[in-house]
Structure 1
Amino acid sequence: MGHGLASLIIRHTHRLPSPTGPTGDGDVVARQLDAALMSVGFKLSTDLLAHLSGLSAATVVETAVLALDAARAMVGDHVQHNVYFRDFPTQVPDTFDFWQECIAAALADDATRDATATQLRSGVLDLLTLPTYGNYRHTYAEMLAVHDELIAAAGDRMTVLHLGGVLDDEVTAAYLALAGSTTPLGDEHLADLRALAAARVDGPQPEEIPIRENRAVVNAARLGVGADLLLDTVTDVLRLACALSDGDVTLQEPTRFRALPRPVRRALLAGLDGVVAAAPGKLADVPAHRERWKRLGERLHPHEYPRWPGAAAVFAVARGEREARSLDGRVEELLGRRKDVTGAVEQLSTAPGKLFRALDRLLRTARTQEERDAVVAAAERVAPQVSGRVVLSVREHLHNRSGKRGKRRVFVNRLGRAWVTADTRRPVPPPERKRLTAILDAEVRRRLPDPGHLLIDPDVLDVALPLSGRATTSGLGVLPRGSVSPVDGELLRFFVYWKQTFQPTDYDLSALLLNGRYATVSWLSYTALRNVGGEHSGDITDAPNGASEFINLRLGSVRGTFIVPQVNIYAGECFEEVAESFFGFMLRDAAQQGRPFEPRTVRMKSELRGPGRVALPLAFQRGNDGRWRAHWLHLYLKGTPTSNQVEGNRVSVATLLRGMIEREYLTVGYLADLVADRAPSMTLWDGGALPDGPVTFIGLDRPEGLHPDSRVITPGNLRDLIPA
């Protein structure tokens, strides 16, 4: 199956698929691998070290290359992180003094003297025209030479790689887990599912694939080998067509459909015909994506296949030649003009998920207690038919609909684009809100399995439930949007890396500092290189071979309550166009020294792949106890086409942050409270001795020494907590 799938398994599970090969004396090479891994913040578990030690040296060497490459990529050490100011974080100049040096150098250069002087006379100077500005003035090796080695500290991150099963079994387990996920996957996990489905299309399959996007990816693999397709709505076929064209299976973005081979066209049309023949009412789903259906019809040529009239009906509806009134349209008429809440509830009861999503509006529209009672009764009746993630989403929504004055309404779409507005809706009536909350809590409690002995790391209790894979990003140490996690260290250092694809691209790492009222205190950026106990590593404006920027902050010297790192696109390619881009942060003790980028001090590294021109990965808040905590955002602002700067977006960032901080999320702690009365034993793990028998462990990392039959939930598979 190759190293690609093995690397995928390591990244997803922090398990190394059990290497196979001749036995031998691999002890020395295994210990060398362990030492090399420790230099980037990883280590081999005791079981894995013992297993490798019993294999031949050649087998261990091959395994070492795979493991080390995967570990370095996870933490961002697979690229060279140079800095503009070679001695960063020391000897970073004052911003104005630095600019004067660049101007002086330009005036001393015959090639740029006249143009620079002309700009100075006009009163407006473009820094990018100065030859010494924005490009590395030293090599990576020269930068390393001036930095002392990192002093090891007890707080350095150490991620354990555990011994997995044979690769074939690990790939099957990963496929079943992703394909059968009860929550939507992020873009990278969807791509991983595509690779896994291609390898496992003929093997064991999950009992159910509840997420439609996942089903589209699996169907594309099944179509390739002639297997039966999993279709029960016409939209399943549309998503499959998007998958076959490498388009957006979430249907959020347009897809340019490719010309399809005749066998594929026949399969799609036959699938459509089968769905419509079994349930003609499903034609009502077509108008929601009318234009996409028209474009797809141009590729499928349904008129060439009269034996499939159901497929022809789909495209007739899309063209407006046949009426198929949607449920949404019927409900809108009942609620809009007629204000018939009871009639709308009756219609929506046939689609339990839609009923749940409409509960807020139904209760606000209801004019009598009888109508409100009908809404609550219908919700209780259909609750067992609603997916777990929708039940939890509505429960979280109701929790934030307390009707408090001054509340802000935060909108985050599936791509991470965010905006905030005042919440002008009438409150949900408190009695009904309380009744619905109790109903939803009871439904979630009913679905939660008996965990047996439940062992929980307290640090995971404030981690938000991943109700969508798009509420997070791929990477190391990344938590879902809305999570809160402790930050312990004296030095906080952010980093961004990007590598352009075609054109000069300038990303600017910045940090906005706000007080407790969300007002600006100051910022660090290329326009403020030194400020409030911190330093910026210098502005890089072109990245053909990759570029990095850093911000270093001494947490004890920071004035203010919030630190909001952000990545602004000043010019060039967006986050989805560059060859690679990622953000992260490190924590160090003040005396550790080391290079600007030290992989074993990295606490978090996440990919930057989203819409907009300003990325807000997370924010840091100092609590009343003086401790700093991270609030995970994973948001993108639209920004401007060019020249985005922290100075220009500080008001919008502060407004968005306030809305996010004030919103309350369902967390692991919420589920722990619900399951507490069903667990024979629930223990908060203090990091000490582990039980002898199997447990259900929930934590940020899998500890060594767990019983092999234990069930382990960490951020990598946190979605498994969401009941079906």
Structure 2
Amino acid sequence: MFEKLVIHKTLRVPASTGAAGDGAAVARQLDAALLDVGFSASRALLEHIGGLAPGPAIDLAATVVSAVRELVGDHVRHNAYFVGFPHDVPDTVEFWVQRLRAAVLAGGSAATDEQLLALLGAGLVNLLELPGYGTYQHTYDELLAAHDAFVAAAGDRLTVLHLGETAEREVERLYLALAGSTAPLGEADLAILSELAVACADGPQPPAVPVRENRAVLNGIRLVLGRPLVAVDTTTDVLRLACHVSNGDASLAVPTRFRAFPRRERRVLLAALDAVVGANPGKLGDVARFAEPWKRLGERLHPHEYPQWPHAREVFTVARGERRVTGIAGRAEAAIRAGAIAPAASVLTAAPGLLLRNADRLLRQASAAERAAVVDAVAGALGSASGRVLCSLREHVANRLTPAPTRMFANRSRRAWVGRDTRPTLPVELVAELSDRLDAEIAARLPEPAHPLLVDPDVLGVALPLSGKAAESGFAVLPRGSRAAVPGGLLRFFMYWRQTRKRTDYDLSVLLLDEEFHTAGQVSWTNYHHDGMVHSGDITDARDGATEFIDVPLTVGGAYVVPQVNIYAGESFEEVAESMFGYQTRARDQGGAPFDARTVRARSQLRGQGRIALPMVFARGADGWQAVWLHLYLHGRPAFNRVEGNTYTTADRVRALVERQYLTMSYLVERWSTKAPVALWTGEPPAGPVTYVGIDAPEGLPEGSDVYTLDRLGELLPA
């Protein structure tokens, strides 16, 4: 049931429990089929399939091929508007005139080129009404027939699939990893966790559930199934749970319309509230922050009907304002407003994470006499805060030596705002002291490797996965701020979408920026050519799915290439049946159809809130081009978004992100070098077991090696 999911998340194939037999022929066919989509099976996987009876072997092989095709976006047909793309793409205006002439001739009239151009220039033409505009004029098979065969190259991607344990064990392993994650999960992973929580409700549970949204998901399932709740230690945990089971927002950022709760569920929720407040009445200090949701929830839970839980009733008394309880955050804020910074820091020592998140503000506002006390409070909190908070603060202070030209604020929905950075910089000696203390604490908390470290150089530029909210699901998708080298001589962007109910027009575009982040050109449906870049043509209806491509030779002028997806009309990214963005790298003479799975370097879903998607930027550096992941969405207009209309806002966000120093895996590797020998992976298998850290696992690692790949990098964060 979950075999595909396991393959998508881990690149591990669950072992079949089918009958033994001779499946060698199936194994050979699978190996060939995988190579066609840029994958290969490990020796152990091929041997496992070869040892199965033909029936189970075929079933497992079919699941594997289907899963990896979906992973790289090869499960749909990527047609292009111009059948010869990237060749034979006309000039934009010339093409529009052709479509307009066809419309005029269809009406029994004739017009000169000058008359047709005048109509276009006056804006009196609706392109959607022109014959053949925005809809495919050829089949997918005709597209394939128009292209030469693909020529494989040494630089094409080849990703290894490994044999896992049984499906039950792999599902359990994935469930425990997601449920016990130390970083917040993205929307897609939260949905997966919800599915797995049902299947694993009676199995092993993680020793701790640090992320509160994860608790809400797990407890939502457990509430419905009648299982005891886990890890409820604040009143807000109960509120999140009520929101989640009401199909609302467990992060509490968006108001929830609570459903009716059966009496059994009301008893569970009120008993949990009573236990939390009874054990620590100070937890009532969190209630006022969410007073309105609490009042609405009280109308559904009827706490007055349950006199056996008096502490639970106190929650709603505070929410209604009949009793005033000031929490730690409120007391600290009052002290800051009164100018008492050192006392505010002292109050926050009771909440180490909150203190560290406010460290910059306290240090900026502290007087010279108070600064030492604030530094001592911050230093004292390092040992109690979570490792994720420590890494976040370490990254923050590294960016506080010089003022940033623009300051970007990105929320959990991957929407971003920018503004001027008006904060005074922190003193050099203070940044150095905090950095040294953080480095020591983070290094002390890193897990002790059982073997020497073997590190793939490609993983060093991956930003630490401090939050799954800063990424999309997909294939080879890296956290925001991650950098990866771009091989080959040609970038090919692809964007696919399929509408649900109404005509939906997405537009793939590229904005070119110079070294100063000024506009240096663009390619879109309004401009098919610029400086060697080529657009595949505008598709305006995706009832059966549609794809647009843009080719970018890496000889292009400019310093930054910014692909973006604009919603011109129709359904949002969250409403369409499917939408994705990805990029391929190719040699200029490889030929083949516009889409070939073997050249796909990354593919991400497009599921954010906003009308303009900025998945990534490509930056030219001294050592060549690098892909830098953005995972951002702009609000945009309700309709008719175009690349020309958002050049300024796009450039601001690109600059803010590109110029920020992100904490990457290279930082953790440096800390580890004091605990174990560290070597870089060169392609030669080591002599003995190692702790391997990389994007994906290579073939040939010795038995007993510990392997940490992209799906497990979060496990390496300090505890």
User: What TM-score, normalized to structure 1?
Assistant: 0.96
Residue 308 of structure 2 is matched in structure 1 by 307
1:637 pairs, out of 634, 638, 641, with 634
More off after superposition, 244-253 vs 483-492:
244-253
Distance apart, 1:119 and its partner CA: 6.8
Quote how far apart the aligned CAs of 1:118 are. 12
What aligned pairs does 1:103-502 form with structure 2 within 5 A after superposition? 103-110=100-107, 123-230=123-230, 231-336=232-337, 338-369=338-369, 371-402=370-401, 404-405=402-403, 407-451=405-449, 452-502=451-501
Distance 1:405 1:312 in 2: 49
Instruction: Provide the rounded CA distance (Å) in 2 between the counterparts of 1:244 and 1:281.
Output: 26
Counterpart among 648, 659, 679 of residue 683 in structure 1 = 679
Residue 653 of structure 1 aligns with an amino acid whose one-letter code is T
TM-aligned CA deviation for residue 111 of structure 1 = 10
Assess if the C-alpha contact under 8 Å between 2:403 and 2:425 holds in 1.
no
The correspondence for 1:650, drawn from 647, 653, 660, is: 647
What letter matches 1:621 in structure 2? A
Partner of 2:43: 46
Structure-1 separation of matches of 2:404 and 2:397:
17
CA contact (8 A) 1:106 1:132 kept: no
Deviation at 1:122, TM superposition (A): 5.9
In 2, Cα distance between equivalents of 1:624 and 1:222: 54
Output one character per residue of 1:566-606: Cα deviation in whole Å (capped at 9) or x when no partner: 00111111111111111000011112111111111100000
- Structure 1 counterpart of 2:127, one-letter code: L
Q: SS in structure 1 opposite 2:287? A: helix
Match of 2:608 in 1: 610
Deviation of 1:648 (Å): 0.9
Corresponding residue number in structure 2 for 1:97 = 94
- How far apart, CA to CA, are the structure 2 residues paired with 1:544 and 1:617? 24
Amino acid at match of 1:523: Q
The SS at the match of 1:164 is: strand
The one-letter amino acid paired with 1:196 is L
Secondary structure, counterpart of 1:527 in structure 2: coil
Shift of residue 280, structure 1, vs aligned partner? 1.4
Aligned in 2, Cα 1:234/1:139: closer, same or farther, shift over 3 Å?
same
Equivalent runs, 1:511-590 vs 2, <5 Å: 511-556=510-555, 558-590=556-588
Matched letter for residue 138 of structure 2: H
Give per-residue Cα distances to partners, 1:618-664, cap 9 Å, x unaligned: 11111124x11111111111111111111111111111111111100
Deviation, structure 1 residue 121: 9.9
| CA positional deviation for 1:247 | 2.2
Post-superposition shift, 1:405? 4.5
Matched-pair contact (CA < 8 Å) for 1:395–1:440 = yes
C-alpha displacement at 1:702, in angstroms? 0.3
Is 2:406–2:652's contact at 8 Å kept on the other side of the alignment?
Answer: no
242-251 vs 532-541, which moves further: 242-251
- Give CA-to-partner distance per residue, 1:334-369, whole Å, 9 cap, x none: 111x20012101110000001001111111111123
Pick closer, same or farther for the CA change 1:111–1:437 going to 2, 3 Å: farther
Q: Deviations over 1:523-565 (max 9, x none)?
A: 1100111121121111111111111110012212x11111100
* Deviation of 1:310 (Å): 2.1
Would you say 1:32 and 2:29 are equivalent positions? yes
In structure 1, runs of 5+ residues without a counterpart are: none
Corresponding letter in the other structure for 1:164: G
In the aligned structure 1, how far is the partner of 2:54 from the partner of 2:363? 69
Partner deviation per Cα, 1:374-395 (whole Å, 9 max, x = no partner): 1111112121110000010011
Deviation for aligned residue 1:316 = 2.3
1:79 to 2:76 alignment: yes
Measure the CA separation in 1 of the matches of 2:117 and 2:658.
48
Partners in 2 of 1:635 and 1:720 — Cα distance? 25
Contact 2:249 2:255 in 1 (8 A): yes
Q: CA deviation at 1:30?
A: 1.2
- Identity percentage over the alignment? 54
- Distance in 2, Cα, partners of 1:332 & 1:611: 32
Distance, in Å, in 2 between the alignment partners of 1:122 and 1:380 is 67
Tell me which amino acid in the other structure corresponds to 2:317: A
What SS does the corresponding residue of 2:616 show, helix, strand or coil? strand
Measure, in 2, the Cα distance between the counterparts of 1:120 and 1:675. Answer: 63
Match for 1:22: what amino acid? A
Amino acid at match of 2:671: L
Instruction: For residue 169 of structure 1, give the secondary structure of its aligned residue in structure 2.
Output: helix
Q: Are 1:665 and 2:662 matched, yes or no?
A: yes
Contact conserved, 1:197 with 1:218, CA < 8 A, in 2? yes
1:149, distance to aligned residue in structure 2 (A): 2.1
After TM superposition, give the deviation of residue 431 of structure 1 in Å: 2.6
1:493 alignment partner, SS class? strand
How many angstroms apart in 1 are the aligned matches of 2:491 and 2:109?
Answer: 39
CA distance in 2 between counterparts of 1:342 and 1:555 reads 54
Residue matched to 1:695: 690
Structure 1 residues 629, 117: closer, same or farther in 2, change over 3 A?
closer
- Distance in 2, Cα, partners of 1:306 & 1:140: 69
- Match of 2:492, SS state, is strand
In structure 1, how many angstroms separate the alpha carbons of the residues matched to 2:304 and 2:51?
A: 65
- Paired with 2:404 and 2:309, the residues of 1 have a C-alpha distance of 56
Give the match's secondary structure for 1:634.
strand
Contact 1:623 1:629 in 2 (8 A): yes
Distance 2:300 2:38 in 1: 51
Counterpart of 2:351 in structure 1: which amino acid? Answer: A
1:364·1:429 contact (CA, 8 Å) conserved in 2?
Answer: no
Match of 1:505 in 2: 504
- Contact 1:107–1:117 at 8 Å: present in 2 too? no
**Which of 591, 596, 599 is the equivalent residue of 1:598?**
596
Query: CA shift at 1:66, angstroms?
Result: 0.9
Q: Is the 2:461–2:666 contact (alpha carbons within 8 Å) kept by the matching residues of 1?
A: yes
In 2, distance between residues paired with 1:211 and 1:513?
Answer: 39
Alpha carbons of structure 1 residues 55 and 431: separation in structure 2 relative to 1, 3 Å: same
Whether the aligned pair in 1 keeps the contact of 2:403 and 2:424 (CA below 8 Å) is no
* 358 and 112 in structure 1: CA distance in 2 versus 1, 3 angstrom threshold: farther
User: What is the identity, as a one-letter code, of the residue corresponding to 2:610?
Assistant: G
Structure 1 residue 456: deviation in Å?
A: 0.5
Per-residue deviation at 1:90?
Answer: 1.0
Which amino acid counterpart does residue 124 of structure 1 have in structure 2?
L
Q: What TM-score, normalized by structure 2, do the two folds share?
A: 0.96
Structure 1 Cα separation of the partners of residues 118 and 335 of structure 2 = 68
- Counterpart residue type for residue 261 of structure 2: L
Q: How many residues in Structure 1 have an aligned counterpart in Structure 2? A: 713
Instruction: Pick closer, same or farther for the CA change 1:399–1:238 going to 2, 3 Å.
Output: same
| Change in CA separation of 1:120 and 1:38 when aligned onto 2, cut-off 3 Å | closer
Distance 1:112 1:390, change over 3 A: farther
Q: SS of the residue aligned with 2:646?
A: helix
3-state SS of 2:576 partner = coil
Rounded to whole Å, the distance in 2 between the matches of 1:398 and 1:632 is 22
CA shift for structure 1 position 170:
0.8
Aligned equivalents of 2:161, 2:618: Cα separation in 1: 29
CA 1:405–1:365 in 2, change beyond 3 Å: closer, same or farther?
closer
- Aligned partner of 1:12 in structure 2 is 9
Deviations along 1:195-251, one digit per CA (max 9) or x if unpaired, are: 111111111111111010111111122223322212111111111112212222222
